Amino acid sequence: MEKIQNYINGVFLAPKKNVYFDNIEPATGKAYCQIPNSDDADVELAVNSAKEAFPSWSGMSNELRSDWMMKLAEGIEARMDEFVSAESRDNGKPIKLAAHIDIPRAVSNFKFFATGIVHYSSESHLMHGVGVNYTLRKPIGVVGCISPWNLPLYLFSWKIAPAMAAGNCVVAKPSEVTPYTAYILCKVMEEINFPKGVLNIVHGYGQNAGDAIVRHPLTKAISFTGGTTTGKAIASIAAPMFKKLSLELGGKNPNIIFDDCDFDEMLSTTMRSSFANQGQICLCGSRIFVQRGIYEKFKTAFVEKVRKANVSFPTDPEAHLGAVVSRPHMEKVLSYIELAKEEGGIVLAGGHQVFLDAPYNNGFYIAPTVIEGLDYMCRTNQEEIFGPVVTLTPFDSEEDALRMANSTEYGLSATIWTRDLQRAHRMADQVQAGIVWLNSWLVRDLRTPFGGVKSSGVGREGGWEALRFFTEAKNVFVKY
Ligand code: NAD
């Protein structure tokens, strides 16, 4: 079976202890390659390699660094089909999703920060008659980037691209559940002769390789995307070491539908915001609040559409939903459906595992699930499920909707559907979320701040926010 390798100082390396574990294909439930079980010894090598590379990479002109980043983007484009198939196979997502969203977006991330860095500038503050302050934005040094499995290369590149563009050298760990596209990225680096040691990729479990990246005294900033519990554990290690921290964590996002919305557009977008990527997008609207006047109409139309959604193997061009990412994750999602029933929920659609014919008969498939009749404070409505499961809850007034929407510990994103302009802005102002979509969902401009409030995270990614995170400000005052 193929063995994925770490990529350290421009060389493919086996983990020092030579221990591997299986990478399971969600579509079939079968192992198809092996992943290094790296630990602190491998991370030590990677950090040293990044440290060695830092003076020349950070000393390079922004234009030259930009050129290298563009070459990385072009290298992915040149292997587009390979990346697309690998992402779909590793994650279980429909291949058309990987082709239209994941891999093109990874390319855009590299291009965006490659061009961003040549337009980035620092500030100066004039003190009339006294002098002037100018602020330098210097790269931090060696930084750690740790990413999750739901949008593997997309979220991995969202971190490593600004980190490198700003002049840092990186030790990065993709999710052990979906490591493959990060591995192909290493092949691209080798092909284009990307400067050695600038990006070091170490594979393995979070508690071994991830933890070692966070603990290493030389990783001066940690950019993490993943679950809130993991974020807490990382913060408890990194904060006393005074590392810079960017934490993009879980969500339990409200989708608030007023009865004056554009019904058809809302309905088709709500299908996507509920079930895209099998509901495994941190921005999915898993709690659907519908104004009472259209509750029954919405319920009937939505449930009809959901029942027709095609759950199939990822390479099926007709698949609306593919496999969820792993057996433990499938079991977690199914256990939440059982919990919802115990809490008094009524399953209107789905609610069960889906069994496909061989060779997909051991794959991890769940029917898109709609549940109503739950209290907004119950566990099903408060805890992140991160799968193809949504709940429906009616509301009467704006206050009613806001109280329920803001009731969870999370605050990542919110979607609001209404044609009333004033209400839309009022709601956007008061909903507790870092990202709000009015009459839309997942429209992304890479220049905008991305991140959540409350237990959904600390800090913002995207645009200048990311470049600010990956640089240290140094203010210099010059007296007249
Ligand atoms: P996870 O927290 O289990 O793992 C994320 C990454 O952290 C993986 O690479 C993992 O190996 C690593 N890790 C785990 N334990 C670690 C430790 N102790 N120290 C260092 N690294 C460690 O999350 P997941 O299951 O891969 O992803 C799903 C979660 O990610 C969901 O909660 C989802 O909402 C969240 N997510 C958030 C965003 C966002 O932008 N806010 C985006 C996507 C996913």
Convert the pLDDT of each residue in 265-310 to its tens digit. 999 999 999 999 999 999 999 999 999 999 999 999 999 999 999 9
At the topology level, CATH places domain 254-446 in Aldehyde Dehydrogenase; Chain A, domain 2 (3.40.309)
At residue 83 the predicted structure's pLDDT band, cuts being 50, 70 and 90, is very high
Q: How far is the CA of 240 from the centre of ligand 1 (A)?
A: 21
Ligand 1 pocket check for 105: Cβ under 6 Å: no
Which one of 145, 282, 284, 372 is the catalytic residue? Answer: 282
- The yes-or-no answer to whether 6-249+456-479 and 254-446 have a common fold is no
Q: Please report the pLDDT score of residue 42 as a whole number.
A: 98
Ligand 1 pocket check for 148: Cβ under 6 Å: yes
Ligand 1 pocket check for 434: Cβ under 6 Å: no
Closest atom of ligand 1 relative to the 452 alpha carbon? 41
Q: Please report the pLDDT score of residue 194 as a whole number.
A: 98
Closest atom of ligand 1 relative to the 457 alpha carbon? 41
At residue 97 the predicted structure's pLDDT band, cuts being 50, 70 and 90, is very high
Convert the pLDDT of each residue in 222-279 to its tens digit. 999 999 999 999 999 999 999 999 999 999 999 999 999 999 999 999 999 999 999 9
Ligand 1 pocket check for 412: Cβ under 6 Å: yes
Token pair of 197 as six digits: 């040691």
pTM confidence score: 0.97
30-36 and 20-25 beta bridge pairing: antiparallel
Dihedral over alpha carbons 328, 329, 332, 337 (to 10 degrees): -130
User: Ligand 1 pocket test: which of 23, 35, 91, 150 has the largest number of ligand atoms within 8 Å of its C-beta?
Assistant: 150
Q: How far is the CA of 451 from the centre of ligand 1 (A)?
A: 14
Distance (Å, rounded) from C-alpha 188 to C-alpha 184? 6
Convert the pLDDT of each residue in 6-62 to its tens digit. 999 999 999 999 999 999 999 999 999 999 999 999 999 999 999 999 999 999 999
Distance (Å, rounded) from C-alpha 165 to C-alpha 477? 27
Average pLDDT, the chain: 98
Domain boundaries, the chain: 6-249+456-479, 254-446
142-146 and 169-173 beta bridge pairing: parallel
Q: Which residue has the least CA distance to atom 14 on ligand 1?
A: 206
Q: Which residue has the least CA distance to atom 39 on ligand 1?
A: 248
Ligand 1 pocket check for 449: Cβ under 6 Å: no
Domain 6-249+456-479: assigned CATH number: 3.40.605.10
Ligand 1 pocket check for 206: Cβ under 6 Å: yes
Which stretches does DSSP call E strand in 111-250? 124-127, 131-139, 142-146, 169-173, 199-201, 219-225, 244-248
Q: What's the rounded mean pLDDT across residues 150-168?
A: 98
